Amino acid sequence: MSAPVSESYDYIIVGGGTAGCVLANRLSEDAGKTVLLLEAGGEGKGFWIPIPAGFSKLLVNPAFNWRFRTEPEENTRNREIAIPRGKGLGGSTLINGMIYVRGQAQDFDGWAQQGCTGWGSADILPYFRKLEAYDGEGDATRGRDGPFPVTEVKERPEIAEAFIAAAGQAGYPRNRDYNGASQDGFGYYQVNQRRGRRVSAADAYLAPARGRPNLRVLTGAQVLRVDLDGRRATGVTYRVGGTARQAAARDSIVLTAGAIQTPHLLELSGIGDPAVLAAAGLPLRHDLPGVGANYSDHFCTRMNWRVKLPVTLNETTRGWRLVAAVAQYFLTRKGILTLGTGLAHGFVRTRPEVEGPDIQYFFMHASYANAAERRLDREPGMTVGVTQLRPESRGTIHSRAPDVDTPPAIRPNFLASLTDQQTMINGMKIARDIVGRQALDAYRAYEMAPGPGCVSDDDWLSFARDNGQTIYHACGTCRMGQGPGAVVDPQLRVYGIEGLRVADASIMPAVVSGNTQAAVLMIAEKAADLIRRAGC
């Protein structure tokens, strides 16, 4: 499929998700530069999107979710595991749980030690401060007047307070700002909301820039490939409906399609591992073996308990109680409809020798008949999600056919590392200990999953293999760094190709210790500076 070049811009941004919205805003601040933002999905508008609790509806909606799935793997009992990815302007900030976690300083210092000069914790802190509009308790490291609102969850159900108290009884401190000096401890999550409504990257960054004459935003535009002239990226070929079009870039093309689709697009453009390209029927244009490798994600098990009292979401989201909750939300922007995927947090160290917390907890006063689709049980329940923060296991994302409409093969390789296995086992044991404390005696009926029959390490590992899911933090598939396996340099330039950069979660050398949206926003803010400085 070919088409004449009909348009030309200084910058072309491929993907209108979290990072793409940031870059569209920042790069178009220079009135002398023209910017094209291409998004395969739609405008990112819908009834459920601004309602925080609407994420459960959006996770299964193909209009807003690409609905990728993993390949069956022995480590996870040959199950296909859902990999949601946001579709539409705003990307995954349209459908995620809105949880805002920067990660730990040593995450970014580790990046720098791996050759990512300029990405240490001191280097990236100004970008976190620049993007945040945080309204809670915190120190001088927090940003207060950025475009992205961050607020503490406002709901304080009694059972959540009991969970935090139980953690205290187990020896874990209360922490009001895990994005501050220390991540250790328990408390309430911080989320990207304003006055009880979700604020996506499109709301925070793209909407204020849409009126600029030098910015063009095109939805329903599926990019088919990056166009190359030798070792220079000259533009992109994209499809709107059934019509192919081309756009040329005078300065740079920036891929912000995310950790699943960015490596896929590079391979469709002939950039990648020669063996992978040949197997998919793709021509080799540039040998770059690291494309699609180094896949990392947060694997999560969900432990749940039956609750004695009618104080959970299971019963308050049914019948007249749901009607009352809906009325409360639309009248006051308060109540249970402001809740996303996490209510109370916990960050703990499973071993005293680790430098920072290596397990994260997500407490919700709810239990699920289907966790992947967030279908609630009918009886009262509570859930503690348990995830390892810094997994060692690495997987791949690769093209399986020479067309954009065939999803790539996603092989996460979860639980391949013995360290990953033991950390998850220890994290689940700690969760059971916390929930067994006196503060929760009035609420806890009995453990449903994994249940009292789970005793040995083999039992715990089997539960994880049988039931664990991703929590949608895919990253690393276009690794930033130096040497073999690196795809982009510390300036985010694709090795061996002029005029082509990547600026999304795929560049992370290792996943950050927490939810990834904050780090992706930071990456995009820094990328904008790198690109503008290069053009000076």
Domain of residue 28 covers: 1-149+200-291+476-536
The secondary structure of residue 23, as a DSSP letter, is H
Separation CA 26–CA 436 (nearest Å)? 49
Q: Are residues 257 and 139 in the same domain?
A: yes
Separation CA 76–CA 103 (nearest Å)? 27
Q: Are residues 374 and 511 in the same domain?
A: no
Q: Are residues 61 and 118 in the same domain?
A: yes
Let me know: does 444 contact 305? Beta carbons within 8 Å: yes
Domain boundary pick from 467, 491, 508: 467
402 within a domain of the structure (yes/no):
no
Q: Are residues 205 and 161 in the same domain?
A: no
The whole-number pLDDT of residue 370 equals 64
Catalytic residue among 264, 298, 365, 473: 473
Phi, psi of 445 (to 5 degrees): -95, -65
Q: Are residues 258 and 343 in the same domain?
A: no
357: domain CATH number is: 3.30.410.40
E strand or H helix that includes residue 414: none
325 within a domain of the structure (yes/no):
yes
287: domain CATH number is: 3.50.50.60
Q: Are residues 346 and 445 in the same domain?
A: yes
Q: Output the six-digit token pair for 366.
A: 């709810």
Q: Are residues 309 and 287 in the same domain?
A: no
Residue 365: alpha-carbon gap to chain centroid: 23
Domain boundary pick from 445, 467, 489: 467
The whole-number pLDDT of residue 278 equals 98
Q: Is the pTM of this model over 0.95?
A: yes
Q: Are residues 334 and 458 in the same domain?
A: yes
266 within a domain of the structure (yes/no):
yes
Q: Are residues 348 and 370 in the same domain?
A: yes
Alpha helices, DSSP H only, in 211-280? Answer: 258-268, 274-279
Q: How far is CA 235 from CA 30, 232, 390, 430, in A?
A: 21, 9, 37, 52
Beta strands in 290-388 (DSSP E): 299-307, 344-348, 359-364, 368-370, 375-376, 381-388
367 within a domain of the structure (yes/no):
yes
Would you give per-residue pLDDT tens digits along the chain (536 residues)?
455 557 999 999 999 999 999 999 999 999 999 999 999 999 999 999 999 999 888 988 999 999 999 999 999 999 999 999 999 999 999 999 999 999 999 999 999 999 999 999 999 999 999 999 999 988 999 999 999 999 999 999 999 999 999 999 999 999 999 999 999 999 999 999 999 999 999 999 999 999 999 999 999 999 999 999 999 999 999 999 989 999 999 999 999 999 999 999 999 999 999 999 999 999 999 999 999 999 999 999 999 999 999 999 998 888 888 889 889 999 999 999 999 889 999 999 999 999 999 999 999 999 986 655 667 888 999 999 999 999 999 999 999 999 999 999 999 999 999 999 999 999 999 999 999 999 999 999 999 999 999 999 999 999 999 999 999 999 999 999 999 999 999 999 999 999 999 999 999 999 999 999 999 999 999 999 999 998 75
Q: Are residues 61 and 138 in the same domain?
A: yes
The whole-number pLDDT of residue 222 equals 98
Let me know: does 189 contact 342? Beta carbons within 8 Å: yes
* Among 370, 309, 300, CA closest to 342: 300
Helix then strand count (H, E) for the chain reads 13, 27
Counting Cα atoms < 13 Å in the Cβ hemisphere of 420 gives 22
Q: Residue 370 burial by CB count (10 A; 0-12/13-18/19+): exposed, middle or buried?
A: exposed
Q: Output the six-digit token pair for 503.
A: 């600026």
434 within a domain of the structure (yes/no):
yes
Phi, psi of 466 (to 5 degrees): -75, -30
Q: How far is CA 338 from CA 204, 220, 254, 341, 383, in A?
A: 18, 30, 34, 10, 18
The whole-number pLDDT of residue 496 equals 98
232 within a domain of the structure (yes/no):
yes
* Among 422, 420, 444, 421, CA closest to 434: 444
Domain boundary pick from 406, 435, 467: 467
394 within a domain of the structure (yes/no):
no
Name the 3-class secondary structure at 158: helix
Q: Are residues 123 and 173 in the same domain?
A: no
Give catalytic status of residue 398 as yes or no.
Answer: no
Name the 3-class secondary structure at 363: strand
**Total domains, the chain:** 2
Q: Are residues 244 and 368 in the same domain?
A: no
354 within a domain of the structure (yes/no):
yes
